[in-house]
Structure 1
């Protein structure tokens, strides 16, 4: 496969996962400040299937689509006001989450147990970014920021980490077999 074909495949994969994130963002449970949505499941899937660089790139694409005003964020919202608003830290954190989650898998093995560990670490990366942003945007105490930005998301976060790990590894194995994504060291 030549370089332009590889680049096209990377762009397509990243675009597909940006779209999956936009779709899953609309699956939400409303909460007072920050809704629980399917976005973090999509972030975990992107990182588990694509790895660190492509997973992070797909989240950059997702954030940029929303930043220019496309309604890809939770509740069919979009625009810079969402990124600088209370939930913006989580969206920014998706980039770091995808990179860290994918990097853990690349440095270990793409197995369900390792993916679960990586996705749990990724969940805490997202929660860290989101809570720090929430604290400063809403001028909350650290305790109030934790109460609004971490605690409501823990149980469902572990469930999404498990789903992203299990589904992600199964899908990744199928895509590798079909030669639709490449594993490091492949020259095909």
Structure 2
């Protein structure tokens, strides 16, 4: 295995761990808590890009499914993934890929990072709300009230923070030659 690949595998593991730590920063709400996971997802995608960002979130999902308490509220296990909030966790993988892909196809700069992170937030909310609706047996308006509306303002703030911090950290990692610059 070459050094670059090993470095990226380690970075994916680090970002999976960061996501697990950020998940413990939460404000409990009925059905779906507000947590730091989405900030970590945005940072992961903005810094690592589509492929490695998605790999990091797949790793996060796998270690949580295996029972490590890395999901919000120190929860873990496959039952979380098939429960009301599981769609949000699957949405993190899709959001990381989409966010990173937008940046790779355009430019790793602050305005594009903001657009990409907002799109990623929407992807997470769509996938999460669909599973919430069916697993919790809610109507669409109830699912939106529990799974979308409470997260919009905070989601925009977290997208802005992930964009700014992600671009700063990514640029420094590129300068240090710890990750490769994007080739559009």
* Aligned match of 1:132: 130
**Counterpart check, 1:102 vs 2:90:** no
Equivalent residue in structure 2 for 1:161, among 122, 146, 159: 159
- Structure 1 length as normaliser, TM-score? 0.96
- 1:29 match: 27
2:119 is aligned, of 94, 118, 121, to 121
Give distance in 2, aligned partners of 1:112 and 1:29.
28
Give how far 1:143 is off. 0.8
Q: Report how many aligned residue pairs link the two structures.
A: 183
Q: List structure 1 segments (4+ residues) > 4 angstroms apart after TM superposition.
A: none
**After the TM superposition, which residues 32-71 of structure 1 pair with which residues of structure 2 at under 5 Å, given as runs?**
32-71=30-69
Deviations 1:126-177 (A, max 9, x none): 0000000000101111111111110000000000000000000000000000
Cα RMSD of the aligned pairs, angstroms, is: 0.8
Q: Distance in 1 between matches of 2:66 and 2:170?
A: 31
Gaps of 5+ in 2: none
> What's the secondary structure of 2:145's corresponding residue?
helix
Cα distance in 1, alignment partners of residues 102 and 122 from structure 2 = 14
